[in-house]
Amino acid sequence: MTQETPVVPVTLDLREFRDVPRSTDACVSLWERLEPAVLTLDPQAGPRVRFDLGDEGEVGVWFLDPASAPRPLGATTRFAIRGVLEAPEIRHACTTCLTAHTTTYAPYKCPGCDEGRRMGRACEEHAVFLEGSLRASCLGHTPVCRCGARAKVWCGGPKCRTRTAWCETHLRRHPGDPTVAYCEDCYAERFPACEHEHCTGSGYIRCEHRTLSGMKPCGRRICTEHARRWQVYGSYNRGLALCTPHHLRLSSTPPEGLIDMILAGTVARSSRGRSATRRRVQLPRISIVRHILINTRRAVLDMEAIDLLFTALEQGLRGRTPRDTNLSTALDLLSRHRVSRREDVERFRKQHVEGRGHYDRLVQELRRGGRYELAEAVEFSDFRPRSGILFVRVPERLQGLFRGKGGSSVRQLEQRVGVKIQVERG
């Protein structure tokens, strides 16, 4: 049984060799030139040796495990090239430096230096960064503004999104952070001016006034100071935002027009909130609508009359063609609202009977106290059994007399009648 000849592992140092082999065959060919000289060496005498190949440069041979190499080396010795050391090469060279016949490492890409094969590069010295982005360019391809001047900032606004660069002349600085700038269009979108006359505030809120015949909202920009919230969804939900002109028109809008606006606003909010994670927007109950009409138009309608307004609106919508998404949403809201309307009408009828009893006692107390003018003028409006509040209507000229100084007269009446008494605004 013959003993296998050990393999001598070596590394070639080609850092000073000009024609570095790029293939296995070329590397083997170079080794065949070096092997006769390597066989004359004693690896333990010097693990690293260099061979001068004249104009081609020098080649170094490193014995990786000198102690295990046979002594002496012979024709039967087998070698294994475990590695090759090469001189460092700059693979990403600066395009600007190359034109000056120098080679500099360029870590940054320059889109303007695209040579058709790959993206151009820029070194630390020639890289240019504009505010608003870490995107680099070389000196020769620095972005320019639309006016032709050298740009200063990549606009990060909602329209540009750091895709367009602008010069200082066409920029507006952030009102709270001067290091952030936007172009005029993006600034106007992010910090819109309030459309109220002489107002310098930002109009973050858009007017939500719309009707079913024209679902496009008013959209006027208004600041928080000049925005008016029409509380149609109760005190715990955000009402419809209205600009001053549309808010002032509410008092002159007929009840059917107000209900049309409420439905249109609810349709718009329902369309925005269709995600399962958001609560579905509902039409306000007609008990709330009744007080909306009282507060807005000073119009006092009973539940049956309000229910008829919603019913007439639904019938009119069902006769409209063609159908669109907004119309389908409106009909769906009205269909689901129908159940609560029946409940409110029935509850109102029962409350009306109970409330009328309290109202009659109130009129008797006024007459017993000799306040005959008030007894003739006061009218029944509503009664809330849960809160025990009797709502009445009193002519504006007599409201002070009805309440008394500091509300003393009303408090006395409440003690005698047994319920709280509140004067309706209408």
The pTM of the full predicted model, rounded to 2 decimals, is 0.57
What stretch of H or E contains 226?
none
Residue 408, judged by CB atoms within 10 A of its CB (0-12, 13-18, 19+), counts as exposed
User: pLDDT value at position 299?
Assistant: 80
What is the distance between the alpha carbons of residues 367 and 408, in angstroms, rounded to a whole number?
17
User: Around Cβ 232, how many Cβ atoms within 10 Å?
Assistant: 20
Write out pLDDT tens, residues 10-29: 999 999 998 888 888 999 99
Which residues face 7 on adjacent strands? 78
Write out pLDDT tens, residues 189-235: 888 889 888 888 888 899 999 998 888 899 999 998 999 999 998 77
Q: Can you name the CATH fold of 356-423?
A: GMP Synthetase; Chain A, domain 3 (3.30.300)
DSSP annotation string for 56-99: GBEEEEEES-GGGS-SS--TT-EEEEEEEE-----SSB-HHHHH
DSSP tag of 8: E
Query: pLDDT band at 279, cuts 50/70/90?
Result: low
Write out pLDDT tens, residues 396-417: 889 899 999 888 999 999 999 9
Write out pLDDT tens, residues 149-193: 999 999 998 999 999 999 999 998 887 788 888 999 998 888 888
Sequence spans of domains, the chain:
7-85, 95-190, 356-423
Residues 6 or more apart whose CB falls under 8 angstroms from that of 158 comprise: 186, 189, 190
Residue 102 has pLDDT above 70, yes or no: yes
C-alpha closest to that of 209 among 160, 176, 244: 244
What is the distance between the alpha carbons of residues 242 and 109, in angstroms, rounded to a whole number?
50
